[in-house]
Amino acid sequence: MRIGTGWDLHRLKEGRRLILGGVHIPFHLGEEAHSDGDVLIHAVIDAILGAAALGDIGTLFPPSDKQYKDISSLVLLEQSVNLLTESGYQIINLDATVILQIPKLKPYITSIRENLAAALSLESNRISVKAKTKEKVDATGKGKAVEALASVLIEEIDESLWV
């Protein structure tokens, strides 16, 4: 078994959609990024890649590459999971935290968990997503940014168990 951690932060700005875990969160600000800016999925990707020592999101999907402009982070997650599987690993569980002062994410947590479970081919009871604030401290606490943390547990695929 191996553990990986990921962290990401994006500024919030007008004219962009707020996407977390592949779910659109209605809000007047969204993530500033080369892709769709899904800070949660970016942290999950880094956790997955880190657990298997496969690099990081910026190396695998560089912002300088035009093919990733405004791409759905779910596509990048799918490619990352495929790379993980090709490397002989599978995900056991995911624990993630989104840090955002406003809007409140409680109404969206179930949808985010289900979306991530589908993208990772896991049961939703293996996915934990929590929402926290920064108590109005720093840029995130002042509503100017959004952050996410993620930890994944992976294990080697035991092909002898395949039917």
For 103-149, the pLDDT digits (tens) are 999 999 999 999 999 999 999 999 999 999 999 999 999 999 999 99
**In the prediction, which pLDDT does 125 show?**
96
Q: What's the whole-number mean pLDDT along residues 18-24?
A: 97
Distance, CA of 97 to CA of 23 (rounded, Å): 15
The whole-angstrom separation of Cα 117 and Cα 119 is: 6
CB-count exposure of residue 163 (10 Å: 0-12, 13-18, 19+): exposed
- pLDDT per residue as tens digits for the range 131-141: 999 999 999 99
Domains, the chain, in order of start with CATH, read: 2-155 (3.30.1330.50)
pLDDT recorded at residue 163? 47
Instruction: Give the tens place of pLDDT for each residue, 31-72.
Output: 999 889 999 999 999 999 999 999 999 999 988 888 888 899
> DSSP secondary-structure letter at 12?
E
pTM of the model: 0.94
Of the candidate ranges 24-33, 45-54, 81-90, 152-161, the one whose mean pLDDT is the lowest:
152-161
Sign of CA dihedral 64, 65, 70, 75: negative
**Could you tell me whether strands 2-14 and 29-31 are parallel, antiparallel, or unpaired per DSSP bridges?**
antiparallel
